[in-house]
Chains A and B, each alone.
Chain A
Amino acid sequence: MAVGIIGYGAYVPRYRIKAEEIAAQWGDDPEVIKRGLLLYEKTVPNQDEDTVTIAYQAAKYALVRAGIDPKEIGAIYIGSESHPYAVKPSGTIVAEALGMTPEIHIADYEFACKAGAEAMFVCYSHVKSGNMKYAMAIGADTSQGAPADALEYSAAAGGSAFIFGSDEEKIIAEVLYTYSFTTDTPDFWRREHQMYPQHGGRFTGEPAYFKHVVSAGRNIMEMAGLTAKDIQWAVFHMPNGKFPLRAGQKLGFKKEQIEPGWVVPWQGNTYSGASPNGLTATLDSAAKPGDLILMVSFGSGAGSDSFIFRVTERINEVRDMVPKLWDLIHGRKFYLTYGQYAKFRGKIHLNPDV
């Protein structure tokens, strides 16, 4: 039985801040950031946006492309590290607003930047096992990065939603293989009640990101008996612009195979929505029927989930039904000063409301 994505959608906010604006605040050289990390600007959530509203919009677009009754969806899982509540699921709000309740299984996932891919993995398994007809996975974040930290140049907002199903005529991208590679690697973390995450600096590179992403990519390709030459497009988790290109190079991919989903220089790292947005951008732009797409997520802590998808003819029918991610990234946008950005992100200490 073929199982795959039958609907997908993405959303990023309209607000942006440029690398130059952040660099000016902290006395960094913007050219070093832009050249070194390949980050030019990032999305910033409006004051009324959070993981729930981003997930909602991405899910709404996915439902349009799927053309199904929301009540038929058996599960909704939202992966994020910025759920608006510490206790109370984001998924219940999104499911209620989209008319999926009450006969639905809901859970919020967390695993640093791979929580969205985790949700995809479980939704795929639910459908494959016959446990449910459709299941929706969302990766969305309003990422946190401490002021003056390198993460401040990348931590962005956005996300993607995917509905998995097995109706052959509805499948847009069939899942051919899945693989996971996970170890206990403390490269990035946030303790309870801490506002911002901590990270291990250069330790986040080789022993964390590259070890897991390259292993998950290499091993799934070995499992499938494929090489980078057999796969048209590749998406790797995008903590910055440089890492996914280098991971792709290690696995034999050319830059042109990564570029359709390489949204990070203009979007930033949308954490749980990073590799999902890369997949959406690839489906929205370059993917043709019959193409294979490799997607490898990465979540600090640390692990990678990898997927190989085969695109179907259906992509040509659904692609233009809703706004495409590249259009949202390069479309209407408003640039913020650092002061406005600090207010939007709640970085300014205020007196309590009276």
Chain B
Amino acid sequence: MIVPRHYKEMPQRYKLQGNRCKACGKVFLPPRLVCPCGSQDLEDYNLSWRGKILTFTIIRTPPVQFKYQKPYAVAVVELDGGGTIQCQVTDTPLEEVEIGKEVEIVFRKIFSEGEAGIHCYGYKCRVV
């Protein structure tokens, strides 16, 4: 049963709601309690929905929930205004997925829990 976890993570998955260190300015998603700089003074911060591909990999043997989407790319995206996220690349042919490419973050169904469970929505990115 993934309902409690999905429910708890909605602010991050739905709204890119993370936090930012007031001391060094580093941005986190998921939010952290302590910054690597040692500060515990962090504030809520909504990350940008635009960014660039920092790096990526192609998944050819995916977990069972994603098996009909193969092959697909998973990218680390550096967002405008700070913070990095890891997400699936959607709506983009694999040959267009390249480091440095500009992407927009989109709200998508990440997976469904079996035939009768909940649909879990969250963020992905697509090349602009």
Contact = CB atoms under 8 A, between A and B. Distances in A.
Given A52-B121, A93-B121, A96-B10, A46 B91 contact: yes
A49 B10 contact: no
Contacts of A57: 106-107
Secondary structure at chain B's binding surface: helix, strand, loop or mixed?
A: mixed
Secondary structure at chain A's binding surface: helix, strand, loop or mixed?
A: loop
A99 B68 CA distance: 32
Contacts of B71: none
A52 B106 CA distance: 12
A48 B72 CA distance: 12
Contacts of B90: 46, 48
Contact of B64 (A47, A84, A96, A354): A354
A49 B126 CA distance: 13
B68 A47 contact: yes
A354 B88 CA distance: 23
Interface in B53-78: 64-65, 67-69
A284 interface: no
A286 interface: no
A343 B110 CA distance: 17
A97 B15 contact: yes
Contact of B108 (A14, A15, A53, A343): A53
Contacts of B69: 47-48
A33 to B, nearest CB: 27
A193 B90 CA distance: 30
Given A14-B91, A46-B91, A84-B119, A97 B107 contact: yes
B3 to A, nearest CB: 11
A321 to B, nearest CB: 15
Contact of B14 (A14, A97, A354): A97
A310 to B, nearest CB: 33
Interface residues of A, number: 25
A343 B68 contact: yes
Contact of A48 (B15, B64, B110): B110
Interface in A53-73: 53, 56-57, 60
By size class, the interface of chain B is: 20 to 34
A60 B114 CA distance: 29
Contacts of A14: 91, 126
A52 B109 contact: yes
B81 interface: no
A352 interface: yes
Nearest to B13: A97
A269 B106 CA distance: 24
Contact of B124 (A15, A48, A50, A343): A48
Contacts of A47: 68-69
B25 interface: no
B8 to A, nearest CB: 13
A136 to B, nearest CB: 16
Nearest to B67: A353
A85 B121 CA distance: 13
Nearest to A49: B108
A99 B108 contact: no
A85 B109 CA distance: 13
Nearest to A60: B107
B82 interface: no
B107 A334 contact: no
Contacts of A343: 68
Contact of B107 (A15, A56, A84, A350): A56
B93 interface: yes
Contacts of B121: 52-53, 93, 97
B111 to A, nearest CB: 9
Nearest to B107: A56
A353 B30 CA distance: 30
A149 to B, nearest CB: 24
* A14, A97, A334 pick with most chain B CB within 10 angstroms: A97
Contacts of A50: 109, 119
B87 to A, nearest CB: 11
A296 B72 CA distance: 42
A354 B15 CA distance: 32
Q: Nearest 8 A-B pairs (CB), nearest first?
A: A97-B14, A48-B108, A56-B107, A48-B109, A14-B91, A353-B64, A53-B108, A84-B119
14 contacts: A14-B126, A46-B90, A46-B91, A47-B68, A47-B69, A48-B88, A50-B109, A52-B109, A53-B106, A53-B108, A97-B14, A97-B107, A97-B121, A99-B15
